[in-house]
Amino acid sequence: MAHSDICIAGAGIMGLSLALELHHRGLRVTVVEQGAPLLEASTAAAGMLAAGDHDNPPQLRPLADFSLTLYPSYLERLHALSRIPVSFHTSTTLQALPAHEADSTGVLSPGILSPDDLHRILPQLTPGEHRFQLIEEHSLDPRQLATSLIAAVRSTSIDLHTQTHVLSACSIGESVEVHTSAGILHAAQFVDCTGSWAAASSPLPHLNVAPRKGQMLAVSLPPSLVLRSVVRTSSVYIVPRAAGPDTTRTIIGATIEDAGFDKTVHAHDIAHLRDIAASLLPEIAYAPQLEAWAGLRPATPDGLPLLGPIPGQPNRFLATGHYRNGILLAPATAYVMAQLLTGERTSVDLTAY
């Protein structure tokens, strides 16, 4: 295997987006992936760019907002390299206020839709106790993004090794010696982008990244219920693939479970999710199911990603723990990690991460 400037472990959305950013900056990049590219959380995701989700920790906001500013140029670069465009499917979200903010005084807080306005926007919605706001927020199809991203990477000189395990990575002087199941690789720097698998491969004894399972389903909505916005409460989200080849396809997610690396889909969990969604949009109860799946979010105790050098290992870096926001955070993660790796001052203060 060749010598490169940067070796990246993991060909998920983080690893490949970082590889492209580094390649763009003129660096020689090798990516080592234990399975196939983009097959785990990157394509299990629903694809909401939910910087304003009430469930996000507040410290995520600067990185999330920076990523939103990068998204148009990120997608343009993918398109230019791959010739595969990635479109936004929705640009607004009907987001329910968390219960503690939804006061019961009957006075509408700024930004909260009146029942009449809510009915005008989505007549089929049965809000129950929820109070909704309409926010500007985009969503895309992570599978379409993945198709474009892998084609973009393959159009470059990035050296991608699939079905190859990183066995160890040791800092030796100015470089890192990476032992893989396909041979030894030398690189000036090494970045672990293996998501939920990072704890297994890191030299840090207490690296707190663990898989958190999400089960979800796709249904086909009837033509009478055409969603133009995402609908999201703290217990469910409903995401239409409004610009895809099948505009009736609608994603409903997701459970949040600590189940190790198990990705079994349970019919009773899927039925429960559908019930919660149907309490908001009753027609969902009868919508034909197209698919059900599970993904593993790389979770950290504080819900924030881990971005930066590994203490005591000057040539080794981590970029993992993006939990529920990997699709949103990929462009910013690639950008700030590339800045770190090339010795630039980062555009976002990474102290919290």
Which residues on adjacent β-strands are paired with residue 216?
253, 293
- Kindly state whether residue 322 participates in binding ligand GLY, applying the rule CB under 6 A: no
The minimum distance between CB 251 and ligand GLY, in angstroms, equals 10
Only one of the segments 43-51, 89-97, 174-182, 309-317 lies at the binding site for ligand GLY (rule: CB under 6 A); that segment is 43-51
- Kindly state whether residue 304 participates in binding ligand GLY, applying the rule CB under 6 A: no
Residue partners of 130: CB distance under 8 A and separation at least 6: 96, 97, 102, 233, 280
Residue 241 vs 324, nearer CB to ligand GLY:
324
The minimum distance between CB 323 and ligand GLY, in angstroms, equals 7
To 10 degrees, what angle do helices 61-82 and 142-154 make? 60
The minimum distance between CB 54 and ligand GLY, in angstroms, equals 13
How many residues bind to ligand GLY according to rule CB under 6 A? 8
Only one of the segments 12-20, 41-49, 129-137, 217-225 lies at the binding site for ligand GLY (rule: CB under 6 A); that segment is 41-49
Query: What count of other Cβ atoms lies within 10 Å of the Cβ of residue 151?
Result: 14
Residue 12 vs 166, nearer CB to ligand GLY:
12
What is the 8-class DSSP label of residue 207?
-
The minimum distance between CB 137 and ligand GLY, in angstroms, equals 12
- Kindly state whether residue 232 participates in binding ligand GLY, applying the rule CB under 6 A: no
Taking every pair of Cα atoms in the chain, the longest distance, rounded to a whole number of angstroms, is: 67
The minimum distance between CB 304 and ligand GLY, in angstroms, equals 14
Residue partners of 133: CB distance under 8 A and separation at least 6: 94, 95, 97, 111, 112, 113
The minimum distance between CB 216 and ligand GLY, in angstroms, equals 7
The half-sphere exposure of 36 on its side-chain side, counting CA atoms within 13 A, is 4
- Kindly state whether residue 274 participates in binding ligand GLY, applying the rule CB under 6 A: no
Binding mask 202-221 for ligand GLY (x = CB under 6 A): ------------x-------
The minimum distance between CB 237 and ligand GLY, in angstroms, equals 7
Radius of gyration over every alpha carbon of the chain, rounded to an integer in angstroms: 21
- Kindly state whether residue 160 participates in binding ligand GLY, applying the rule CB under 6 A: no
- Kindly state whether residue 254 participates in binding ligand GLY, applying the rule CB under 6 A: yes
Residue type for position 335: Y
- Kindly state whether residue 253 participates in binding ligand GLY, applying the rule CB under 6 A: yes
To 10 degrees, what angle do helices 142-154 and 13-24 make? 40
**Ranges of H-type helices in the chain:** 13-24, 41-44, 61-82, 115-121, 142-154, 198-201, 267-280, 326-341
Binding residues for ligand GLY, per CB under 6 A? 45-46, 48, 214, 253-254, 297, 324
